[in-house]
């Protein structure tokens, strides 16, 4: 008999408590949904904790990279705490001001179809030759991280650390040999 999973999963982000509802996606996969969008206190608490983890890790990086959209507020909060003057966001749509854009294909468990992300030349040139910290809300199947590893090879930068709030499914402390710092882990319900 399959185990019974609770209707929500509790995650503690310092003083903040996040109750993640158990949802069933259109493909039948069940996940505990974690959505940072609009959650000022969650983003601030997670950024405080991740900043402390990054400092303690002593991994030296030059700039942060994230994907639109759920981790943007987290990345902004983290940048403020680490005195990072700027960070790069891979965008979900091609903008008219993006010259010589690079396109990334990402398959994510929370999106029904493959996604595309774009960086204009001015942004990917800011990454070239740099040591990069990738920031995400949840690292699950590794689709976004895999796309960013491909981007690193194409553009010529090194991902030296990954900072995320949660790992999901597989508890990880690294991804493709890169240290991965997370605050908690959530399971894939059966």
65: tokens are: 């990279």
Facing residues of 63 across strands? Answer: 132
Confidence of residue 2 (pLDDT cuts 50, 70, 90): low
Domains of the chain: 8-186 (3.40.50.2020)
Per-residue pLDDT, 139: 94
Q: Which residue has the tokens 């399971």?
A: 187
Per-residue pLDDT, 1: 42
Contact criterion met (CB below 8 Å) for 62 and 130 = yes
- List all residues 6 or more positions away from 32 whose beta carbon is below 8 Å from its beta carbon: 8, 9, 20, 21, 22, 23, 168, 186, 187, 189
pLDDT, tens digit (0-9, with 9 covering 90-100), for 150-163: 999 999 999 999 99
- List all residues 6 or more positions away from 24 whose beta carbon is below 8 Å from its beta carbon: 30
Q: Report the distance separating Cα 59 and Cα 49, nearest Å.
A: 16
Per-residue pLDDT, 142: 86
pLDDT, tens digit (0-9, with 9 covering 90-100), for 51-101: 999 999 999 999 999 998 889 999 999 999 999 999 999 988 778 888 898
The pTM of this model reads 0.92
């Amino acid at each position: 008999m399959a185990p019974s999973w609770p209707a929500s999963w509790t995650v503690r982000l310092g003083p903040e408590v996040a109750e993640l509802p158990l949802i069933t996606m259109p493909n039948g996969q069940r996940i505990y949904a974690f959505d940072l969008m609009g959650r000022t206190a969650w983003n601030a608490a997670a950024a405080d904790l991740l900043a402390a983890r990054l400092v303690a890790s002593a991994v030296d990086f030059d700039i942060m990279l994230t994907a639109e959209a759920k981790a943007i507020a987290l990345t902004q909060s983290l940048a403020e705490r680490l005195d990072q003057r700027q960070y790069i966001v891979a965008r979900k749509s091609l903008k008219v001001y993006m010259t010589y854009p690079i396109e990334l294909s990402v398959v994510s468990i929370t999106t029904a179809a493959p996604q595309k992300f774009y960086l204009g030349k001015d942004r990917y040139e800011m990454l070239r030759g740099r040591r990069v910290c990738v920031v995400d809300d949840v690292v699950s199947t590794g689709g976004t991280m895999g796309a960013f590893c491909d981007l690193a090879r194409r553009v010529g930068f090194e991902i030296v650390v990954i900072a995320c709030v949660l790992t999901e499914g597989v508890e990880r402390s690294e991804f493709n040999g890169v240290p991965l710092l997370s605050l908690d882990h959530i399971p894939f319900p059966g």
